[in-house]
Amino acid sequence: MPEQLHEQQSQQQYSTSIPGGTENKPAKPKLGGNANRFWGIFAALCILSFISALDVAIITTALPKITAEIGGATQYVWIANSFVVASSVLQPLVGQLANIFGRRSPLIVCVALFALGSGVSGGAHDPGMLVAGRTVQGVGAGGIYVLLDIVCCDLVPLRERGMYLGLMNSWAGVAAGIGPVVGGALADSNWRWIFYLNIPICGLALGVILLFMRLKTGAQENSIPKLNQIDYLGNLIFIPSMVALLYGLVTGGIAHPWSAWRIVLPLVIGIVGWISFHIQQLFTTVPSVPTRLFSNRTSATAYILTFTSSILVQALSYFLPVFFQAILGTTVLRSGTNLLPFALGTLIFAIIGGILLSKFGLYKPLHATAFALSALAFGLLTILNTTTARWVIFQLIASAGSGIILSCLLPAIMAALPESDVAAASALYSFIRTFGYIWGVTMPSIIFNGVFNNNLSVISQASLREQLKDGAAYAFASEMHRIRHTLDPRVLGEVEEVYMRSLRAIWWVGLGISIVSFFAVFVERGLELRKELETEYGLAEQDEGSKDNDREKSGGLEGI
């Protein structure tokens, strides 16, 4: 009953002024004379969505070439993952800063950091400099991820957000689709342009932001000095804990065995620190992750679904290319092209899901449909073979599930929360999604390596067994197109059989996660999505915009 009352009060507070009651017609954003600025800001969000996603996807095919040229084979893990760790750990802090200083200034700083990190990475002459550049890039990208969702939510009512989030995320889908191809092409000519390419695009986005982005900076009557509104202790606990936990997750089984103390100790420290952080959040007056975000079953369940859907997307993105390389014998670049049905399908269905959510305002049926399609796709993948029609159709089914859920989770999280929680809720959503992506590589990798090791006896050639054991099979897949013709057909068939068994184990686990997620949807409440936009950070009128803009230009530090 308390939970139901909380959700009803939240709905009443922001929905009583909705004209038309339970009408299914979506409300349009009231732009007035601000239409040009609205679309200018939204265009900047789309550009940033594209470039931040492109940077993740573009490096996957180019990384072997980069490390071969710059050195750093032993630092390979950190060249690949410093960006991921840096982009994750600061996201709750960015959400809090967006509430304190407004959205414009933090977004400008994050874009500038991303461009700076790109320049450092492009000009790197040793592995340490490249890792440093990737880290700065990651800090900027992590802030961009959070602020994209926050600003989008500030611009349109909750009922409309699915459509606009779908449109914005579709640009990220385009980047994910073309990234491996572009990365491979640039690696063959000059890999430094993989990073330098970001600078002019960031410059364009910054220009659009400076020209159009005039947003309200929130209520100014808070008597607490702004710098005192930051959760210093919470972030002091959270950030090192997450660095330790993510270090263990991204290096376990690669740099060191999972049983090594160098992996176990960071994992333990990270988990204990994470628990301590949430305990601290119960007692602080300025929490960066308020416990009320989990106070209702709808938001709490949607956060869980965010985590599981991220695992499913990443597992497909990382291990379908292994099928293409090891079984079909494609190059790394070609495997990226073969993944396009999934990548491009995801962006199309993200838009469709957002439009359906805006039209009907019903997120539960869309969530259930998405995970049902995901379960169907993973089930079909367990019978995957080399027939082109099969792997294309199976990818399209999987993309329907991943695309629909992409644009429909954040509105569900916010359905039972007041608009004042937009920044904190979006930051937590972004962190959980990123954390899920990391688990989406780690967990399937453990499964894949374990099953591969258990089936090595199938391979009759002893030298090959040595080359493929203990986690080496994933990287070895990229070499299969070169050595296939040198292997005895019987031995080649044995190797392919072990790869298929290992991949099939991942698909079965994906099927299980999809089914559990499907039934979890029914824990959510089907709340009405607000049609009126009530926010202290929305588009400012022209005269207000000048004042708010001046405040943000001055650093947004009034009241310090």
Contact assessment for residue 113 and residue 52, using Cβ atoms and an 8 Å cutoff: no
**CB-CB neighbours of 264 under 10 Å:** 15
Query: Are residue 364 and residue 501 in the same domain, yes or no?
Result: yes
pTM of the model: 0.85
In eight-state DSSP terms, residue 73 is G
143 and 253 housed in the same domain: no
Domain match, 450 and 341 both = yes
Query: What confidence score (pLDDT) does residue 190 get?
Result: 84
What pLDDT score was predicted for residue 171?
84
CB neighbour list of residue 217: distance below 8 Å, 6 or more residues apart? 101, 102, 104, 537, 548, 551, 552, 556
User: What is the extent of the structural domain holding 515?
Assistant: 294-523
Q: Does residue 550 sit within a domain?
A: yes
Q: From CA 13, how far away is CA 410, in angstroms rounded?
A: 20
**Residue 60: both structure tokens together:** 């996957």
Same structural domain, 377 and 240: no
Q: Which has the closest alpha carbon to 529: 425, 427, 421, 416?
A: 416
Q: How many domains does the chain have?
A: 3
Output the pLDDT for position 38.
87
Q: Specify whether 283 is located in the same domain as 395.
A: no
Residue type, 544: E
Q: Are 347 and 492 in the same domain?
A: yes
Three-state SS letters, 262-281: HHHHHHHHHHHHHHHHHHHH
In a domain, 339, yes or no: yes
Q: How far apart are CA 306 and CA 369, in angstroms?
A: 15
- 19 located within any domain: no
> How many alpha carbons fall within 13 Å on the CB side of residue 465?
11
Determine, yes or no, domain membership for 249. Answer: yes
Same domain, 184 and 125: yes
Question: With a cut of 70, which residues of the chain have pLDDT below it?
Answer: 1-33, 72-76, 216-224, 536-560
The Cα–Cα gap between 191 and 348 comes to 30
Amino acid sitting at position 218: G
Q: Is residue 452 part of a domain?
A: yes
First to last CA, the chain: 42
Q: Does some domain include residue 533?
A: no
Cross-strand bridge partners of residue 539: 215
pLDDT of residue 5: 44
Whether the CB-CB separation of 354 and 165 falls below 8 Å is answered with: yes
Is residue 3 included in any domain, yes or no?
no
The partner residues of 215 in beta bridges, in order of sequence, read 539
Pick the last residue of a domain from 262, 287, 312: 287
Judge if 145 and 276 occupy the same domain: no
Q: For residue 386, give the CATH number of its domain.
A: 1.20.1250.20
Same domain membership, residue 274 and residue 136: no
Beta bridge partners of 252: 256
Q: Are 493 and 394 contained in the same domain? A: yes
Q: What is the pLDDT of residue 17?
A: 35
> Domain check: are 250 and 194 in the same one?
no
Domain-embedded: residue 2: no
Do 210 and 237 sit in the same domain of this protein? no
Q: Residue 225: beta bridge partners?
A: none
Q: How far apart are CA 433 and CA 431, in angstroms?
A: 5
> For residues 207-233, b (16+ Cβ closer than 10 Å) or e, as one string?
ebbeebbbbbbbeeeeeeebeebbbee
**Hey, what are 37's tokens?**
């600025």
